[in-house]
Structures are given as C-alpha cells and as structure tokens.
Homo-oligomer: A and B are copies of this chain.
Amino acid sequence: MTVGAAPGRGQSSGRRRSRIPTSRSHQIDNAALSDREIVRVAREIIAKVGVDGLTMRQLSTELGVSLGSTYHHVPTKRDLLVLVARDLFDEVTIPSKGKWDERLKSAMVSVSDLVERYPGIATFMSANPVEIMPIKLYRALVQILTDAGFPVDSVNAVMATMFFYVTGTSTGGPSLASSGMLDDVEMKRLFEDGLDLLLAGARVRVEQPRRRTRSGAPRSRQRG
C-alpha cells in the first residue's frame, strides 16, 4: 500500500520524504500525517455519513495509511471527535458589534448552522461540553454577557441554557424532521423562537437584576 492518495481528491504528489528539517520552526509542516489533516478528512467523512458512520478504518483508508498508523496519532475515536468538535467551534462567528442579545443569538445560529452539517456531532458535544468548548469562544461569549451587565451567576446560567438548547435542538432536529411534522423552515423558526424565548428570560436579569419576578421561586428549597 504505497499509493494512498485517496480517490477523487487529486492532490497527488509524493509527500512523504520531507523529513528535511527545514529549520527548527514548526514541526507540523509536512509531517507524514498531521493532526490537521486527520481532522480535515474526519470532518469530510462525518459530513457524509455522520459520527456513527465515521470508522477508524474508513478514516485510515481515506488518509492512505493503515489503521494502526491512525491510532499512532489519535489515541481514541473519542479524542478524534474532540478535535473535530473544537475545530468546528473555531469557525463560529460572533458579531463584533450590536446589542448583546443580538450578538448572542447570531452566534448561536452560527453554531446551529455549523453543527447541523455534521450529523451526530451535536450529540457528542452535548455529552462532552467541557472537553469540546474552545476557551476562546467561551471567553468571547462570557465577555458579551459581562459587558451587558450580567452578574456572574447569571452568566453561567445563560451560557449553559443556550449551549444545551442549541446542541439539543441540533440533536433532535433530524427526528422532528423525519417525523414529517416539521419541515426545514418550520424547524428553523421553532429553533429561533426558542432562542428568543431564552433571551427574553436572560433580558429580565439585566434589566431588573435585583427585582424578584412575581412568581419566581425564591430559592431551591426542596427540603429545608
């Protein structure tokens, strides 16, 4: 198996020698098999057949290496998915200006649009929120909320609520769609509607940070 060079995607060339220490700069460069390349191909496969359809064997074949070789770079499939998820999140766009709620909504729509192109990744994300959230994105979102005047506790609540809502929607979307009860347009509307609902709830906290809502539970007092 010396050939490799996946079908379809030209890009032949015998990149392989390239052991040449061009300098002591980056060692990624032309490495036989970079994490970057692995993630790129994995994304392609997931886009086509979903996370469950992604096989370490199929990935290896498409990379032009053996199964064992792939495992030399990525310890487990889970680790691979973490890399993929982070890579995806890096593409989330956040408007640099505008009202906080509009920026937030836009960011969430961006996440949703991105994630729905990779079946099964939303499920993985919602099961691994800590591992997959890139610090950069996380900080950016927190910044928006703190700038808007949210108290720390509320920041976490808003972040968690949005995250789980978005991943949940993306996870359950296919089910709703295939059930025939909702088409794509209605799905999109339901998604944004829920987002608005959520943001409305958040808005209450900045506009009246210390006012109790008339029926709001004062605390968690299950068993005092």
Contacts and interface: CB of A to CB of B under 8 A. Distances in A.
Interface of A: 2-3, 5, 7, 99, 101-102, 105, 109, 123, 126-131, 153-154, 156-158, 160-161, 163-165, 167-169, 171-172, 174-176, 179-182, 186, 188-190, 192-194, 196-205, 213, 215-217, 220, 222
Contact of A215 (B5, B154, B189, B203): B203
A174 B127 CA distance: 8
B172 A164 contact: yes
B198 A203 contact: no
A149 to B, nearest CB: 14
B172 A3 contact: no
Contacts of A205: 197, 200
A216 B205 CA distance: 15
A201 B161 CA distance: 12
Contacts of A199: 201, 216
A109 B217 CA distance: 13
Nearest to A199: B201
A202 B161 CA distance: 14
B172 A127 contact: yes
B105 A217 contact: yes
A193 B157 contact: yes
Contacts of A198: 161, 197-198, 201
A168 B126 contact: yes
- By Cβ-Cβ distance, the 4 closest A-B pairs, closest first, are A164-B168, A201-B201, A200-B201, A161-B194
A218 to B, nearest CB: 10
A201 B190 contact: no
B189 A213 contact: no
Contacts of A167: 168, 172
B181 A215 contact: no
Interface centre among A186, A193, A199 (most CB of B within 10 A): A193
B200 A129 contact: no
Interface centre among A168, A171, A200 (most CB of B within 10 A): A168
